[in-house]
Amino acid sequence: MEALLETTVWDGGAVNHTYLLDGSNLVAYLQHGKTVPFYFKNPIKQFNKRGRTFIRASITPFNVKQEVQDHIKIVAGSKPGVTYTVNLEDKSCSCPGYTFRGTCKHLDAV
């Protein structure tokens, strides 16, 4: 998981947000000036960064997630360094197995 702070300079002065990614999938974002991230029910696949600039955020948004939303858990995948987001409330997971079959081993493990 990584947090990316958008640094794009927009015409018209639009504000940038911090985006939380699991691989190339966007799982949540933190609005500028807010402290609670918004989590998507289903991750947005292949987050498009084209034409925009980002830096790695120095915050730890996943600590915020676990404090604010106890029903959201981060679990390790079978490959080293791969993690998935399990939503215990919706009984959903961000892994490819859940996306394909609608169920996965991560839900049983939590």
Predicted confidence (pLDDT) per residue in 54-66, tens digit = 888 755 544 444 4
The 10s digit of each residue's pLDDT in 24-38 is: 889 988 888 777 788
Pairing of strands 25-30, 38-44: antiparallel
Alpha-carbon distances of 24 from 15, 67, 98, 103, 106, rounded to whole Å:
22, 24, 16, 21, 19
What is the overall mean pLDDT for the chain?
Answer: 79
Q: How many domains does the chain have?
A: 1
Instruction: Say yes or no to pLDDT of 8 above 50.
Output: yes
pLDDT at 59: 52
First to last CA, the chain: 18
Domain encompassing residue 96:
2-109
pLDDT at 54: 87
**Mean pLDDT value across residues 77-82:** 77
Could you give the 3-state DSSP secondary structure of residue 91? coil
* Spatial strand order in the sheet of 18-22: 38-44, 25-30, 18-22, 2-6, 54-56
Name the nearest CA neighbour of 4 among 12, 16, 13, 42: 16
Name the nearest CA neighbour of 19 among 37, 46, 45: 37
Instruction: Say yes or no to pLDDT of 18 above 60.
Output: yes
The 10s digit of each residue's pLDDT in 80-104 is: 777 788 888 878 888 888 888 888 8
pLDDT at 67: 38
- Two structure tokens written together for 52: 């925009």
